Amino acid sequence: MSRRSKGHDYLGWALVATALLAPLPLGGIRAFFFMFYAVVVAVMGLFYALGLYRGQVRPRLPLSAFAIPVILFGLVLVWLLVTLLPLGIAAAPEWAALSPLVDVAGRISIGPGATFDMLVRYLTYALFFVLALQVSVEKQRARTLFRLVYWGIAAHALLALASLTFFGDVLLFLPKEAYVGDATGVFVNRNSFATFAAFGAVMGTALIFGDDENDVARSRLSRILIQLGFNVAPLALIGLALAFSHSRMGMFVAALGAGVVALVAVFRSTGVRRIIAGLLIVVGLVTGAVLANTGGILFERMATIDRDADVRLAVYEQTLDLIAARPVTGFGGGTYEDAFRAVKADPIGPDVTFDAAHNLYLELAAELGIPAAIAVVLSVLLLAGTAAVAAVRRENWMIPAAAAAAVLAGAVHSLVDFSLQIPAIVLMMLLILALGFAQSRPMQQAG
């Protein structure tokens, strides 16, 4: 093994460890903890840059290989910087209620501190994704990292179940203040944990149908035992944790993502695997129909209010008012909570606050403006679309299919919740997406 290969191996293990540890604690939602992980990613980037300079490693996937997403996301980063500049723009009179939050220097952002935090998050996400791409090009390494991530998510599921039952329903071994009786793992709420677990359900499904499909070196019995021990058992654990999370939308997106992978397996697999994949799709459709008929599947309980769908719809309508007030510029990244105070009205009570719109797309449009929000979403969808096409056309379909399905699960859940505003979930999704996108490229090397 060359020094260059070892360098990418070490980096890959470090990235996987970061993604699996990022949920500790509370999904990284506290600024201090996320800044810690931001420093960790920055240090990894620095060491990789030094390795490039010294010739110890070489880039495996240039930025030109995904130029359009790079340009789109780069423009968003530039826009975040622009919103922090003292441009002397006067605040509109109707936003006087935000005073003294409105910056006297005339910045576009009404909360420069929050916008700077968002800029740091986005820079961290970008660097993390680029580094993950570099270690994911080599086929065997990508498969190894994929399995490690899957087993790590299963370990989180085991911890969630143990915290709920064996340790007496605790959060990081401390008494819970919310979501009592629900499996939340190390996350604050059940929906965030469910999205994280849904990624594992998608990966497990892909491994069951695609892992070592052409491996004829082992006997049939040994392959069955390996499947049961390394693929099926962790998936059962993840499924059990999802069920005990009591997150209907989380279970729905997990079934959706797994169903997409199974659908790809129907066309890409043969024999018994194809039959099993078809049966899994049927089971998924039946499960989805049952969940849809339980009522309220799109209106999960929020952290600060009850399950009243009228309140959720009111949040969406009032967020649309925010977007209409500044459709192009937005109010600044990370400022949704401050901006929402100015438009909050009945039926939302005066003592209720919202730091998230429970819809990622509306929140991005309110904070960044519609053009920048579209750029953020489109940059991710283009990468996921490449993986989806590769899953259908390329022989090595397993990891690309899982990547596309994981993004689909996160995107659908973000229609009604704030899972992709949780840093740990974003890092995990980006790692899976990087694995899938890198294995979608024709320049990948065989193990």
Q: Which amino acid is at 377?
A: V
- pLDDT of 115 above 70: yes
Dihedral (CA of 326, 317, 77, 117) sign: positive
- Average pLDDT rounded to a whole number, residues 235-254: 90
pLDDT value, residue 4: 61
Q: Where are the alpha helices (DSSP H) in 23-66?
A: 31-54
- pLDDT of 31 above 90: no
Tell me if 413 sits within 8 A of 360, measured CB to CB: no
Buried-state track 308-336, b at ≥16 Cβ within 10 A, e below 16 = eeebbebbeebbeebbebbeebbbbbbbb
417 by DSSP, 3-state: which? coil
- Give the confidence band of 117 by pLDDT, cuts at 50, 70, 90: very high
Of residues 239 and 354, which shows the higher confidence score? 239
Q: Which amino acid is at 15?
A: L
Q: What percent of the chain has pLDDT over 90?
A: 47
CB neighbours of 18 closer than 8 A, spacing ≥ 6?
37, 40, 41, 44, 128, 427
pLDDT value, residue 289: 58
159 vs 185: CA distance, rounded Å: 6
- Residues paired with residue 175 on neighbouring β-strands, in sequence order: 170
pLDDT per residue as tens digits for the range 358-400: 899 999 999 999 999 999 999 999 999 999 999 988 888 999 9
pLDDT per residue as tens digits for the range 44-55: 999 999 988 887
Q: Rounded to the nearest 5°, which phi and psi values hold at 171?
A: -120, 110
258 by DSSP, 3-state: which? helix
Buried-state track 104-119, b at ≥16 Cβ within 10 A, e below 16 = eeebbbbbbebbbbbb
pLDDT value, residue 102: 54
Tell me if 28 sits within 8 A of 423, measured CB to CB: yes
> Taking CA 346 as the corner, what is the angle to CA 341 and CA 351, rounded to the nearest 5 degrees?
55
Q: What is the mean pLDDT of the chain?
A: 83
pLDDT per residue as tens digits for the range 166-195: 988 888 888 888 888 899 999 988 999 999
Q: Is the pTM of this model over 0.85?
A: yes
- Residues paired with residue 138 on neighbouring β-strands, in sequence order: 445
Dihedral (CA of 268, 274, 280, 284) sign: positive
Q: What percent of the chain has pLDDT over 70?
A: 80
391 vs 402: CA distance, rounded Å: 9
Q: Rounded to the nearest 5°, which phi and psi values hold at 188?
A: -70, -40
Tell me if 320 sits within 8 A of 302, measured CB to CB: no
